[in-house]
Amino acid sequence: MSKWLNPRSAFGITLIVVALLALPFVAAMGGQAWVRILNFAILYVFLALGLNIVVGYAGLLDLGYIAFYAVGAYTYALLASPHFGLHWPFWVILPIGALVACFFGVILGSPTLKLRGDYLAIVTLGFGEIVRIFMNNLNAPINITNGAQGITLIDPVAIGDFKFSTTSQILGISMSGPQKYYYLLLALVILVIIINLRLQNSRVGRAWQAIREDEIAAKAVGINTRNLKLLAFAMGASFGGVAGGVFSAMQGFVSPESFSLIESIMILAMVVLGGMGHIPGVILGAVLLSILPEALRYGVGPIQMAVFGKMLVDPESLRMLIFGLALVLVMRFKPAGLWPSPERKRELSDAGAGNG
């Protein structure tokens, strides 16, 4: 505790808090689009921390995590839109979305308990695609999801008459809808970080780590690997469900196109790139992989015009080429991630020394 109370730590924490509070106003100087990019970065942090429970803590390779995001988003959309004529408050829907996603997490986890590695990845990938295809086709004979057209006019987050989607005056300061959603997302992600920290240092977290390192040895010392793996799937899924609900409210529209396989792969890349099982690393990976492509989107075209006087390569293609190359280089020279945990770094160092 004392290390958090010394002046240097207190000053650092104060700077971080001030920077986070001021960030949406600084971003708004470049336009509200940058505030939205910040919101999606926080949303991806939310998703990456949820997947980190499954991949980083328990060591279970999940390529279908986006399915839980979709379940949460559609749960919110169905209960807060004219589609079924329901307009429930968000504080009721978000827990329901978490529970529904948790249920689907158990459904995914139950038949895959004996699978590991590539086989588990293939099954989870198939699960993610099945959910997306269901969302795309559950419009007949009963129209549940409205098919490929998606669900529109979804209610924004609101507390009484205070809506997060409109510009309001708060303490004399004008705040746009994206700026208000920023603070809501920031509060939620701080809560998720606290939960992750508590899990990491708990008996359950240490049991997950034992399963990740050697499942047979963990079972031999009395760890109930079956229940703990199901718990990892369920908890990770519930975080994805809450994130999906906030996404649905923030966008006001959901469709199956938002939940493709590439999104699952991107979230997994955030966890691996940042450092599996290490919360600060996962946050760093999520922020970089969500903001860097958008920065390249706005920067690649003007740079070409300034250097060559014309567009030589389509900005979208060049953006993804640079992005992919950066990922390859990072994983080549930093295989443990940009900010790995001390334990992970030590494991790779020992493995390298053994191979040498």
Alpha helices in the chain (DSSP H): 2-5, 7-28, 32-52, 66-79, 90-109, 117-137, 177-200, 203-213, 215-220, 225-251, 261-274, 279-308, 315-333, 342-355
Please determine, for residue 355, whether its predicted confidence score (pLDDT) is greater than 70: no
Number of domains comprising the chain: 2
**Do 13 and 118 share a domain, yes or no?**
no
Domain membership of residue 355 (yes or no) is no
**Do 23 and 52 share a domain, yes or no?**
no
Ranking 42-51, 66-75, 84-93, 110-119 by mean pLDDT, the lowest is 110-119
Domain membership of residue 39 (yes or no) is yes
Domain membership of residue 311 (yes or no) is no
**Do 3 and 102 share a domain, yes or no?**
no
**Do 128 and 192 share a domain, yes or no?**
yes
**Do 80 and 15 share a domain, yes or no?**
no
Q: How far apart are the first and last CA of the chain?
A: 41
Domain membership of residue 57 (yes or no) is yes
Please determine, for residue 1, whether its predicted confidence score (pLDDT) is greater than 50: no
**Do 251 and 138 share a domain, yes or no?**
yes
Please determine, for residue 227, whether its predicted confidence score (pLDDT) is greater than 60: yes
pLDDT level of residue 137 (50, 70, 90 thresholds):
very high
Please determine, for residue 263, whether its predicted confidence score (pLDDT) is greater than 70: yes
**The two structure tokens encoding residue 212:** 């990740």
**Do 5 and 44 share a domain, yes or no?**
no
Question: Per DSSP, what are the bridge partners of residue 81?
Answer: 86
**Do 26 and 39 share a domain, yes or no?**
no
pTM: 0.91
pLDDT level of residue 351 (50, 70, 90 thresholds):
low
Residues 290-315: what's their mean pLDDT?
80
Sort residue 312 into left (φ over 0), alpha (ψ -120 to 50) or beta: alpha
Q: Which residue segment(s) compose the domain that 14 sits in?
A: 1-30
Domain membership of residue 317 (yes or no) is no
> How many Cβ atoms sit within 10 Å of the Cβ of residue 348?
15
Please determine, for residue 346, whether its predicted confidence score (pLDDT) is greater than 80: no
CA nearest neighbour of 232 among 216, 213, 209, 214 = 209
**Do 216 and 229 share a domain, yes or no?**
yes
Please determine, for residue 310, whether its predicted confidence score (pLDDT) is greater than 90: no
Domain membership of residue 65 (yes or no) is yes
Domain membership of residue 99 (yes or no) is yes
**Do 62 and 167 share a domain, yes or no?**
yes
Can you tell me the distance from the alpha carbon of 197 to that of 199, in angstroms, rounded to the nearest whole number? 5
**Do 7 and 130 share a domain, yes or no?**
no
Torsions phi, psi of 87, nearest 5?
-140, 65
Tell me the residue length of the chain: 356
Domain membership of residue 92 (yes or no) is yes
**How confident is the model at residue 298, as a pLDDT?**
79
